[in-house]
Structure 1
């Protein structure tokens, strides 16, 4: 299968990392997978080193240069499935695809974020199907009026953990970015809904009861200076030294040194950092939002604690509970649900079904509208009026 995946985003977080993983996963299975990225972005720079990549301007919805180049790729690479992600590529990509008429590819819109969309038109008319990363997000779009058969959940997956000795780092001794004592770790981009401000509030309650704890933030983003300034403001110097902003780094060494991973997000479609923590055998404390329960419901007993959103007192208590239990690490067996291979397998099956419906002319019809009469569970008798 030939797949062309567009993403115009300018940052680099869980969504972009997931695109790279998905591309590698399909390539390993013998399929053709091309990423279309915005020139000069972190995703563009990383993708060109790892997977087949087409760099595009993607400067706006009227970018005719990108539109023509997307159309050329669809034709020259004989693309079967076009995947779009963000505002610009989800407009230009479908326009290029629909211009090909009967020979066009199956058009899929992916949605990784729980941010309320300003306009549902692109989700209704600019794709054949909408694929979301959690059932919570699927229900959101159904509540907004999208047909149930138009929205599909495919949970994202993470690659198998590479445990080669060469990847292990010496984390036994203190380090400015890896303090001594138990580490509370948060991984994620610094933006409002990820809850780094709340993590500081939780840590303020924790250090009142445990003086040996450290808080480490992994990630970067627009809110980083604000969170750093707040940490400087609300903590005494001796406590502030135990709060580390390590920037964007490979999380694996930190996960192997951490004692608990926290996810105080107030809006989370799924949470790949939670999957990565569980895969390393770490306990996770998170707010009960979005798709987070869909992960932690699969976690081994005691590994995942869900807390009511905004309740930092209960969150701190849950972190202390995890620390006191000191459950031996046992990596979460995610192979059948949240592995990259499982995600690729489900996605491939979904694409094959969509292509079959596209070619047979049944793509935009309710699958329950068949000759079944009252036996059809979606049957509604027509009024004689």
Structure 2
């Protein structure tokens, strides 16, 4: 199994690690290849191999062997039944291993990477998994992928980890974060980057001009460890000093900010699934998301959808929410929806089935 970052804020990293943990708990041996370790959350792995070269040199996989040598040699030594990669770019590790040993590959798409005409770049891939039909359709249209090779499996969460927020939990969360009990809190949780549309959210908040004493926008995901362009984008937004915005660093605990909030917003320009929105819905929060890529498919009728790149429409949607009273029954309904539609057990069952069908030895009897 390969992941880019062990730990970290992103939904891709957290989802990949959680799936590894789940597969291990079901008795599978999981050997992990990773590029970067942020937090030590891969205790499930039977072995861990670091590689600096999960960099997507797919056109010439043999040239990648030198940089990928530790990971490829570890793969040869462990003799896996299947290689499970969580980024299309990680085929730069999986393809040399397939060419040396014949081991089949399963590639999990968490987003469309922009690669086109991928036939030669995906030799050895028995199956692709896509987090949404929208993402699968994009790979078919732009990547020229045979749709019969794709399984659509939505991401899942353990709803016990994201219970409906009650009064005491809300009070405790606000005390931990230093938030006054009577303030209205809008939450964004994720990477502060242009594709996430955080600038649109900041513009919308500035348009609202709400009193900062009683209305706060909490942006969780500030980090200086992103690439240079993303870090510059983030720092420029912070430097605007828009009143009423709290910029919080990336954190492993994403539940506490959700429990402290009254509304969750995901203003993405591009979003294949929207794990942050599912987690917010599970805690009972009303949500606003953008009508882009896989988000309408994920949110369905459980939240408000606005056009991406429209601070006017986003501001209007937030303003409408300010006048709506909290509804305990609606909160429980959102949690039930997530439990039925996005169960981590259902996702694990589906991923495990694809891995079994693709593996050299098939399903154990």
- Shorter-chain TM-score: what band? 0.7 to 0.9
Q: Which residue of 2 aligns with 1:131?
A: 129
Q: Is the 8 A contact 2:7 2:41 kept in 1?
A: no
Q: CA deviation at 1:254?
A: 0.8
Q: Which residue of 2 aligns with 1:25?
A: 22
Separation (CA, whole Å) in 1 of partners of 2:344 and 2:98: 28
Structure 2 unmatched ranges of 5 or more: 58-62
Q: Which residue of 2 aligns with 1:106?
A: 104
Trace 1:191-210 onto structure 2 (pairs within 5 A): 191-208=193-210
Trace 1:1-385 onto structure 2 (pairs within 5 A): 5-8=1-4, 12=8, 13-38=10-35, 41-43=36-38, 45-59=39-53, 61=57, 62-64=63-65, 67-86=68-87, 89-100=90-101, 104-117=102-115, 120-121=118-119, 124-125=122-123, 127-144=125-142, 145-162=144-161, 170-173=172-175, 175-176=177-178, 181-208=183-210, 212-221=214-223, 222=226, 223-224=230-231, 226-233=233-240, 235=242, 239=243, 242-249=244-251, 250-297=253-300, 299=302, 304-326=303-325, 327-328=327-328, 329-330=331-332, 331-333=334-336, 334-355=338-359
Separation (CA, whole Å) in 1 of partners of 2:171 and 2:231: 26
Q: CA deviation at 1:121?
A: 4.4
Q: Is the 8 A contact 1:8 1:88 kept in 2?
A: no
Higher mean alpha-carbon deviation, 257-266 vs 217-226, is at: 217-226
Separation (CA, whole Å) in 2 of partners of 1:121 and 1:163: 40
Q: Is the 8 A contact 2:132 2:154 kept in 1?
A: yes
Separation (CA, whole Å) in 1 of partners of 2:350 and 2:319: 38
Q: Is the 8 A contact 1:285 1:306 kept in 2?
A: yes
- Tell which has more relative contact order, 1 or 2 (C-alpha 8 A, sep 6+): 2
Separation (CA, whole Å) in 2 of partners of 1:68 and 1:53: 16
Separation (CA, whole Å) in 1 of partners of 2:151 and 2:121: 12
1:137-194 superposed Cα distances (whole Å, 9 cap, x missing partner): 1111111321111222111111233379999882344955778501111011122101
Measured at CA, do residues 163 and 175 of structure 1 come closer, stay the same or move farther in structure 2, by a change above 3 Å? closer
- Runs of 4+ in structure 1 deviating by more than 6 angstroms, as ranges, are 163-169
Query: What CA RMSD, in Å, does the superposition of the two structures yield over aligned residues?
Result: 3.1
Separation (CA, whole Å) in 2 of partners of 1:79 and 1:157: 25
Higher share in helix: 2
Q: Which residue of 2 aligns with 1:371?
A: none
Separation (CA, whole Å) in 2 of partners of 1:122 and 1:217: 41
Q: CA deviation at 1:65?
A: 5.3
SS at match of 2:93: helix
SS at match of 1:32: coil
Report how many residues are paired. 339
Separation (CA, whole Å) in 1 of partners of 2:161 and 2:141: 40
